[in-house]
Amino acid sequence: MPIVSPTAPVILWLRRELRMHDNPALVAAIASGRPVLPLFILDRETPGRWAPGGASLWWLHHSLVSLGESLEKAGAKLILRRGAAVEVLRHLVHEVGAAEIHAGRAIEPWARKVMDEVVSTSGAKLHLHRTALLYEPDGIRTQSGGAYGVFTPFSRACLARGAPDKPLSAPLSFKGVSAPSDELADWKLLPARPDWAAGLRARWVPGEAGAAQRLKRVVADVVKGYDQTRNFPGQDGTSALSPRLHWGELSPGQIWHAVEGIESKGRTTFVNELLWREFSANLLWHHPDLPEKPLRPEFAAMPWRRDAAGLRAWQRGQTGIPLVDAGMRQLWNTGWMHNRVRMVVASFLIKHLLLPWQDGEAWFWDTLVDADLASNSAQWQWVAGSGADAAPYFRVFNPVLQGWKFDPKGDYVRRWVPELARLPDKALQNPWDASEEELAAAGVRLGETYPRPIVDLAAGRARALEAFAGLNKAA
């Protein structure tokens, strides 16, 4: 084994912990007493990886700008490299004579393989830290040592562990080490022609400072009544912290401790959502093919339809179903969609249109700023009925009833489907039932200014129930 100089640097390999606060990998790298080389790798070459979609890349660009500025203030430069992660790390270790690599533990299947290969090929010792989750991905198991397949007992096991560790402070300064770096602009992560990101810029402020500001707002105004307000898409009643968590501008531990002193049902529900995120990560850890294959094997025989026109109408928010179209347009415009509406649009695609859940999963992956492989896969399988702790196959969200219940005054639909804005509340969620006089007064011409429904809701539901029931009989 070669002798490593006591002044040899350590590489801080940043993946999904783009922050200074509560970053165990950063703290451990500094504690080594060696100069630290912060590194981010844009890896589009490792086989099997799900490369970030366009909206995620937009967020990543701005988050890296923010992190780079913070690191420079602390005395280090963020080094950017492109290529297969194993090769980049192997070359960089030899280039700078690195002694160690510190990184956050990965849960994605390809990333776990990369971590193993780094150990065997780089020549540097790899230290993995829990940076993206409350618990180790394999740390919550049943009494018999198995993996949980149902959320409620999983969440109870998590809560029995007690509060996670207190968040770590951000280092004020440390000794960095420089190396040649790519220019972020050369990566072309931002859309150019066309520039479709205007809505993202208007909605979000990526970076650790923006994340901290949003968390402060959530603690002050959202958490206490979260159990009620989170269901109404026309209100600012959700945390909107998911993209911050995905890229690690905030840790889940920071969020947990920020809301710890709030006594309300809202806080209980809010913490439960953090645990759903943990549950999804746990599922992906134990089922690496979660993004591609149904957890319940009988669903592999599902008689899915192929309907390119129907899929395109859903993607564009032109299905003729107002709540569905509002959600899909919010997604395209802002890179995000309200969680209640996510369930509705997913149910519509899978059950009313009888299209494969993987089609919806892929579209969300490309268009969400919070596209997270574990959560995205688990949620789509939950709606499809093929996943762990899944919704029963006969649960079909009726988008009209959901609209009446959770968007009763139509604030959400009117914002994102403005061509229907002048309809009365009673007709807004189901304009096909409005009278000719109501439609004319609102300037709505079905099939011209707004599409007619691409599927009859009752017929689509019946078709789905027949298909799902057939699977149960075969099983």
Q: Which of 58, 204, 357, 416 is an active site residue?
A: 357
What 239-244 contacts at long range (C-beta under 8 Å, 24+ apart), as own/partner pairs, is: 239/214, 239/270, 239/273, 240/214, 240/336, 241/211, 241/214, 241/215, 242/336, 242/370, 242/372, 242/375, 243/59, 243/204, 243/206, 243/335, 243/336, 243/369, 243/370, 244/210, 244/211, 244/214, 244/215
Active site residue 304: yes
Active site residue 380: yes
- β-partners of residue 187 are none
User: Rounded to an integer, what distance in angstroms lies between the CA atom of residue 125 and that of residue 147?
Assistant: 30
Q: Which of 50, 304, 404, 432 is an active site residue?
A: 304
- Tell me which DSSP letter residue 5 carries: P
Q: Which of 58, 336, 380, 382 is an active site residue?
A: 380
CB-based contacts of 336, cutoff 8 Å, min separation 6: 203, 240, 242, 243, 330, 368, 369, 370
Q: Which of 196, 231, 339, 432 is an active site residue?
A: 339
Q: Which of 187, 273, 432, 438 is an active site residue?
A: 273
Active site residue 273: yes
Q: Smallest Cα–Cα separation from 32: which of 166, 124, 132? A: 124
Residue 241: Cβ within 10 Å count: 22
- β-partners of residue 127 are 102
Alpha-carbon distances, residue 299 vs 149, 151, 408, 475 (angstroms): 17, 20, 35, 9
- β-partners of residue 42 are 82
Active site residue 204: no
> In 3-state terms, what secondary structure has residue 128?
strand
Q: Which of 247, 276, 363, 416 is an active site residue?
A: 276
Catalytic center residues: 273, 276, 304, 339, 357, 380
